[in-house]
A and B are shown apart, each in its own frame.
Chain A
Amino acid sequence: MATTSVSKKRMVRINGCVASAQAAKYADVDVIAAYPIRPYTATMMALAQMVANGELDAEYIVADSEHSQLSIAHGAASAGARVFTGSSGVGVQFAYELYSPISGSRMPVQMMIADRTLDPPGDFGSEHTDALSTRDMGWIMGWSCDAQEAFDNHLIAYRIGEDPRVLLPQMVCQDGFFVSHITGDVELPDAGQVKEFLPPYKHPYPLDPRHPVSHGPQIMPEQGPPLQLERARAMEESMAVIEQAHEEFEKIFGRKYDPWLEEFMTDDAEVVFFLQGAHAVTARFAIKHMRDKGLKVGMVRLRTIRPYPTDRVNEVLSKFKVVGVIETNMGLGSVSSGGSLYAEVCAALYESQKRPLILSFMAGMGGEAIVLKEFYWMTQKMVDAQKRGKIEKRTHWVGFEE
């Protein structure tokens, strides 16, 4: 690793894409599998420059499609490399075939996602549907809400995924444009801190001609379930590792994150927003305004959706009277006939003794910003429901209703 440019801790002003690239550089990745698609492309551009400038010693492979990109990542990880790849929108979908094989063969590939709305038609804006559609493929997955958090999440995800108790791939997601292309202050750590936090990657059975092994052979039907059970166990047991990694991260870098849920102004809140990603930044601002007007509103932000912290969601959301889920994703014909996050929230609360009322807000779709007055409008809907003691309807299309 060329360490000159990453030796000392310093503040920089960069966007989310560049923060991700910086994180890959600090993680000293061995192989980068790239294929362009907006908006994540900026990450690969930054990494290409780093490799070209000699800042990072890595194999930079330009694939001929996202499918190849993930195949390269799979193969490189199998050979024992720390791999970084990424995509956006329909690119994420094109590689779909590889998600289960990669987690099934327990390869801790890391994929950066800068969300982009799926077609039709071409829309560059952010929407979480691209990555969320792969949520059950055995990848550790969560959203960042700003450039600093994106940087930190990449390092934390490598540490979790490569833990011998886990060995699972990770999708480190950030909203396209709202995070990927908006510049923010990012503290780049001291190289020594990263070295301390992230040990070198070592797979127990890498492909090596000197010690031949067979990865992914055909199996008998009855041999399938044990493998699935083991993969499920790895996902479940990663929860302890995730918590441990966040604690360790705070110790070394001084930044504290709850691994599962960020709570904002929830101490005496009666109604709360439940969301993922970048719109939390606007939400915080809106909530402060509404608090000034005396509304008891707060926000709970989901930081890790896979593994899903069912018990924590149950415990935290049971404190409130009304929960408004801001979807930022499409779940056509789903439980709420809106987004897919609603079902996750409801399921977590099913066993609660104090179930709050739950609303689903279709907002931030197609890359639209959720503006302050829309937060006020949604808050009003929650307050109305609280007063009424029941919901008017499950799902509201924000901006299209009175």
Chain B
Amino acid sequence: MKHTFLCVFISLWSMNTIMAQMPHDQIYMNKNIACGALLYGNSSWTNYWENTLKRDNPNIGKLSTESLSAMIAYGITKKVNALVMVPYIKTQASQGNLMGQQGFQDLSLWIKTQVFNYKNLHGHATVGVSTPLKNYVTEFMPMSIGLGAKTLSGRAIVHYNLPSNLFVSATGSYIIRGPVNVDRDAFLHGERLINSNSVPVPNAMDAQLRIGYLKKENQFELFAEHFSCIGGDNIRRNSMPFLTNDMTMTAIGAYAKYQLKSLGISARVSYVVDGQNAGQSTNVTVGLLYLFKTK
């Protein structure tokens, strides 16, 4: 990769209370180069899908999730990068009397590596783990700041360089999510009542298709993405969501980054066009990036 001083970015895709952090690009930093980023995200929805029924809820109004994330990416070698991220999340409902929640959410770590490089075609893989930083409340959905599950995820990225600095890229990932211990000692899982505090959170997968322009430090791209759970149940009629729900979202969006020497800025917007057991959210993330050498 020629772009020595490119800062790896992370895209935040927050929906309801899930945050799928995705180091999904093909960009690497050279050995001993680090990039620190501060990202502010705002995700909000007024309409949501209760199972398949699209509705609003005057007892919630607009649900907003704000996040402030600190991220560091580091070049272990030229072709192996590590990324670490910590978000602080705050939720709030514009109507009704549900109490907003806030706190540090999950610590995430990814390792990204190039798997093959053939002419204009590159393949990459990432593995990631995440774990809640604190024992935050998970069952008070949709106000909770996260699902509280430990995760292990694998991602494959295929990137193809087109002429004139254009590219197309496709990614697919699978997220294994561990069970979550909730405060209550019984919960419904589908039609069954489970007399336990250990809640199975369904695994999930997501896929993205991206097309964009990439030149030196700067890039612009359009994307479509789809997130869905593997199994899980549906939000019950006129009820709040729960950790066991089978959430599905399809979103479209755009991303841009501009790097001015060691300082850079990024912005990402996305909008959920379809879903199930999820909010129809509009998501905006802006970031401040800073590159530095560690040795």
Question: Are the chains A and B members of one assembly?
Answer: no
The interface of chain B, by Cβ under 8 A from chain A, is none
The interface of chain A, by Cβ under 8 A from chain B, is none
